[in-house]
Amino acid sequence: MNEERETIVAISTSPGEGGIGIVRLSGSRSLTIADRIFKGKNGLKPSKASTHTLHYGCIASNGEVLDEVLLTVMRAPRTYTREDVVEINCHGGIILLKKVMELTLREGARLAQPGEFTKRAFLNGRIDLTQAEAVVEIIRAKTESGLRSALSQLWGEFSKRLKQVSEKLTELLAQVEASIDFPEEDIGTFSADKMAESIAKITSVLEELLATAKQSRLLREGITISLAGRPNVGKSTLLNSLLERERAIVTPLPGTTRDTIEEFLDIDGLPARLIDTAGIRKAKNLIDRESIRRTRLALREADLILFVLDGSTPLSGADTEIAEEVSKKKTLVVINKIDLPMRINKVRIFFSSEDIVSVSAKEGSGISDLKRAIVSLFRGVPSPEPAFLANLRHQTMLEKALRCLENAHSLLTTTAGEIPLELIAFELRDGLRSIGEVTGEVTTDDILNEIFSRFCIGK
């Protein structure tokens, strides 16, 4: 734990030019280090300053002034890390910031690892693991609703719900253990029923949490949408239209797009990775073969395929071949070029009409209907804005807890004769442990390293 007491430093603003850059120190020596490199205008030493105060002065070493700065003094425990924190607001140039940081290193600070400030906030008990993870989500949020969910997770919404579940579970476990310890007060059939009922209640709360977790993963990670269709039907035009900018090259020549093109898109709050692909056709040369291979990869990855058809031409053999290929996945058929006279037929043989949207990618008509259709496909689930942004780790642990509860429940309800209390207690304990792993009450160094390595340095 000695390592945790070292004073750490990092440039907390993003690298590159900016009006202001911040060098942040955290640890018991922060103020002493600040004393040695900071010359306050009024001569006040940071270590003598009261907490949560801002000081004007300069950073100097060996008589040489490096920068004019504002220095913030925040004393433990009311700080981000619960340690003494000093933030030096410098002019934002990376060379200058590095020089200021080097000075602090020379005075005994250590370079912070990615996420180390937040890790200390966790280790010092200011936040739990789900809140620490929310910090990453806030920094990386790609949509407004993603940001709001991450913020509500940071404020402890997820932790609160998990805590309710684990409190109820602990209560149950205590009852089971009491019955093991005092078998003469036989828990009898009545209380076994009651216990099964309590377990079922917790199970349904957990199931609800899990559903939100799954939905929030979608919101956070986004869905992958691949465009598919034969050459020249207007896939790239559709990509541009959805993005509202001329991202991909469009020409009247079939075979314009060779490589897959990926762009991030916020579709009415649903984050999506949109992939334009090369038209599927018979390969005539090596480039064709490679581009079609890439197209197929993009289709395999897709959560949704937008199958684009040219409405101004009759359905061709090439179209029906692609239709068969894509229909294995969740697909929306986009009939394009409706600004031209319509000659397309037979589409309804392959797809039901609610999966068909007509647009003119070139003129922009029908694009908002298409967006609505996409969103409604992925918004079948409860609230559109979950109260937290669960990740795969949370989901796995919640699923594990759920299995334990189900086991306990079936032990209670299906066992003939004496109720196997020891086994039930074992399952409940295991379930509690899994929930504890989500919040970080139960952790290992591996889990912590995995989580905090996803942070950027300085956070």
The correct pick among 26, 130, 336, 358 for binding ligand GTP (CB under 6 A) is 336
Nearest Cα to Cα of residue 290 among 318, 269, 259: 259
Residue 377 has phi, psi (to 5 degrees) of -65, -30
Q: Is 433 marked as a binding-site residue? A: no
Q: Which amino acid is at 213?
A: A
- The residues pairing with 11 across neighbouring beta strands, listed in sequence order, are 23
> To the nearest whole angstrom, how small is the minimum distance from the Cβ of residue 368 to Mg ion?
22
- The residues pairing with 57 across neighbouring beta strands, listed in sequence order, are 40, 69
Q: Which residues of 390-409 are buried (b: 16+ CB within 10 A; e: fewer)?
A: bbebbbebbebbbebbbbbb
> To the nearest whole angstrom, how small is the minimum distance from the Cβ of residue 371 to Mg ion?
20
- The distance of Cα 50 from the centroid of its chain, to the nearest Å, equals 38
- Asked whether position 166 contacts ligand GTP by CB under 6 A, the answer is no
252 interface partner picked from Mg ion, ligand GTP, none, CB below 5 to 8 A per type? ligand GTP
- Asked whether position 231 contacts ligand GTP by CB under 6 A, the answer is yes
Between residues 263 and 430, which has the closer beta carbon with respect to Mg ion?
Answer: 263
Question: Over 257-316, what HEC string results?
Answer: CCCCEEEEEEECCEEEEEEECCCCCCCCCHHHHHHHHHHHHHHHHCCEEEEEEECCCCCC
- Asked whether position 361 contacts ligand GTP by CB under 6 A, the answer is yes
Q: Please report, to the nearest 10 degrees, the dihedral formed by the alpha carbons of residues 447, 453, 456, 459 taken in order.
A: 40
Q: Please report, to the nearest 10 degrees, the dihedral formed by the alpha carbons of residues 6, 450, 119, 25 taken in order.
A: 50
- Asked whether position 291 contacts ligand GTP by CB under 6 A, the answer is no
> To the nearest whole angstrom, how small is the minimum distance from the Cβ of residue 235 to Mg ion?
5
> To the nearest whole angstrom, how small is the minimum distance from the Cβ of residue 266 to ligand GTP?
22
> To the nearest whole angstrom, how small is the minimum distance from the Cβ of residue 259 to ligand GTP?
10
Q: Is 384 marked as a binding-site residue? A: no
- Asked whether position 370 contacts ligand GTP by CB under 6 A, the answer is no
- Asked whether position 360 contacts ligand GTP by CB under 6 A, the answer is yes
Going by their DSSP bridges, the two strands 270-276 and 223-228 should be labelled as parallel
- Asked whether position 235 contacts ligand GTP by CB under 6 A, the answer is yes
Residue 438 contacts residue 394 (beta carbons within 8 Å): yes
The correct pick among 194, 330, 362, 371 for binding ligand GTP (CB under 6 A) is 362
- Asked whether position 46 contacts ligand GTP by CB under 6 A, the answer is no
Residues from 252 through 271 that contact Mg ion (CB under 5 A) = 256-257
- Asked whether position 233 contacts ligand GTP by CB under 6 A, the answer is yes
- Asked whether position 236 contacts Mg ion by CB under 5 A, the answer is yes
Between residues 221 and 288, which has the closer beta carbon with respect to ligand GTP?
Answer: 288
| The total number of residues written for the chain in this structure | 459
Between residues 256 and 396, which has the closer beta carbon with respect to Mg ion?
Answer: 256
- Asked whether position 277 contacts Mg ion by CB under 5 A, the answer is no
- Asked whether position 279 contacts ligand GTP by CB under 6 A, the answer is yes
Q: Which residues of 366-375 are buried (b: 16+ CB within 10 A; e: fewer)?
A: bbeebbebbe
DSSP state of 237: H
255 interface partner picked from ligand GTP, Mg ion, none, CB below 5 to 8 A per type? ligand GTP
The correct pick among 16, 19, 63, 252 for binding ligand GTP (CB under 6 A) is 252
Q: Is 235 marked as a binding-site residue? A: yes
Q: Is 119 marked as a binding-site residue? A: no
Between residues 236 and 407, which has the closer beta carbon with respect to Mg ion?
Answer: 236
- Asked whether position 298 contacts ligand GTP by CB under 6 A, the answer is no
> To the nearest whole angstrom, how small is the minimum distance from the Cβ of residue 369 to Mg ion?
22
Return d(Cα 333, Cα 87) in angstroms, integer.
Answer: 54
Residue 234 contacts residue 336 (beta carbons within 8 Å): yes
For 4, 72, 73, 83, the CA distances from 104, given in Å and listed in that order, are 17, 15, 15, 17
Residue 367 contacts residue 306 (beta carbons within 8 Å): no
Instruction: List all residues 6 or more positions away from 197 whose beta carbon is below 8 Å from its beta carbon.
Output: none
Q: Sheet harboring 223-228: ordered strands across? A: 261-267, 270-276, 223-228, 304-310, 331-336, 356-358
Residue 332 contacts residue 377 (beta carbons within 8 Å): yes
Three-state DSSP class for 453? coil
Between residues 133 and 310, which has the closer beta carbon with respect to ligand GTP?
Answer: 310
215 interface partner picked from Mg ion, ligand GTP, none, CB below 5 to 8 A per type? none
Q: Is 295 marked as a binding-site residue? A: no
- Asked whether position 236 contacts ligand GTP by CB under 6 A, the answer is yes
Three-state DSSP class for 384? coil
Q: Is 100 marked as a binding-site residue? A: no
237 interface partner picked from Mg ion, ligand GTP, none, CB below 5 to 8 A per type? ligand GTP
Between residues 198 and 236, which has the closer beta carbon with respect to Mg ion?
Answer: 236
- Asked whether position 232 contacts Mg ion by CB under 5 A, the answer is no
Binding residues, by number, are: 24, 87, 126, 232-237, 251-257, 276-279, 459
Binding residues for Mg(2+), by number, are: 236, 257
Binding residues for (6S)-5-formyl-5,6,7,8-tetrahydrofolate, by number, are: 24, 87, 126, 459
* Residues that bind ligand GTP in the complex, under the rule CB under 6 A: 229, 231-237, 250-252, 254-257, 278-279, 336-337, 339-340, 360-362
* Residues that bind Mg ion in the complex, under the rule CB under 5 A: 235-236, 256-257
